[in-house]
A = this chain, B = another copy of it.
Amino acid sequence: MARIGKLVVVGVGLIGGSFALALKQARAVGRVVGVGRSAANIYRAQELKIIDAAGAFDRATFGDAELVLLAVPVGQMRDVMRAIAPLVGEKTVVTDAGSTKEDVVALARRELKRSLARFVPGHPIAGTEKSGAEAAFPELYRDRKVVLTPLAGTAPRAKALVKRAWEACGASVFELSPREHDAVLATVSHLPHVLAYALVDQVARSRDAKRLFSYAAGGFRDFTRIASSHPEMWRDICLANRKALVAELGRYQGELERVKRMLARGDGKALEALFAGARDARDRWLKNRE
């Protein structure tokens, strides 16, 4: 791809840091400047050569940026957009990596004003339970999906630049409406996170928590891996997408009630059918992913 002259990453954690590393590895970027609220993290990102320099919320950092990636928890998005709106240059393209899109799009409409046409809302569907610059690695986006949710007025040039950047990271780029995006992610990502956090909380609050944990094994470990995710980030995601999430949680409660009734009446046939159907669906999914 045509090289990005200067990239500014706001929030140099797992997501933002991995984006910078992937573009560097692909030789698709010239200079990377990092901005963040934790000085220690930005310093570490420089040490790890994720960024070439530390920037600030000023004209020198943003004025000549070709691309700006906002990779902060959704709850900080408003303040960050408000801060950069008067600073970005006339050609600067801005994108984000927020896990929810309806709220980010609404914020962008309010805050970005004159640069709105060069804002491309996005969400890389990739991650680990780790956070911070330390956790970043260049292969994070390889063979992963990135969803863009462009607006009617998004400049084609801006969309094309963001698409090429993600492709240079090894990802495939898809488009959804913000609402579609949020509904899909509520089911396959936000709900499982809440369920995993809830199970660990239940065990941790038990009277015999210590003994319970001592007999937890590999199944428990993998089921709850996502409960080691960043609490602040997941608070923001849950709040931002709470309407869709509450609806999915309601459906799941209905599902559990159904299973509980099968258990209560000792209906082995129904339980086995549900388990077998779920296993087959999952195995088909895994096969299609390969």
Binding site for B on A (CB under 8 A): 75, 125-128, 144-145, 147, 184-185, 187-189, 191-204, 206, 208-209, 211-229, 231-232, 234-236, 238-239, 242, 245-246, 249-253, 255-257, 259-260, 263-264, 266, 268, 271-272, 274-279, 281-283, 285-286, 288
Please state if A184 and B202 are interface contacts (CB–CB under 8 Å): no
Whole-angstrom CA separation of A253 from B263 in the bound complex: 15
Indicate how many identical chains form the complex. 2
Known: A187-B206, A275-B197. A238 touches B223 (CB 8 A): no
Please state if B255 and A253 are interface contacts (CB–CB under 8 Å): no
Chain B residues lying within 8 Å of A276, measured Cβ to Cβ, are: 231
Please state if B218 and A239 are interface contacts (CB–CB under 8 Å): no
Please state if A271 and B219 are interface contacts (CB–CB under 8 Å): no
Chain B residues lying within 8 Å of A193, measured Cβ to Cβ, are: 219
Partner of A281, one of B145, B203, B221, B252: B203
Chain A interface mostly = helix
CB distance from A225 to the nearest CB of B (A): 5
Please state if A187 and B204 are interface contacts (CB–CB under 8 Å): no
Chain A to chain B: the 7 pairs with minimum beta-carbon distance, closest first: A231-B275, A204-B281, A200-B278, A231-B276, A235-B272, A188-B216, A192-B223
Known: A203-B188, A215-B184. A275 touches B234 (CB 8 A): yes
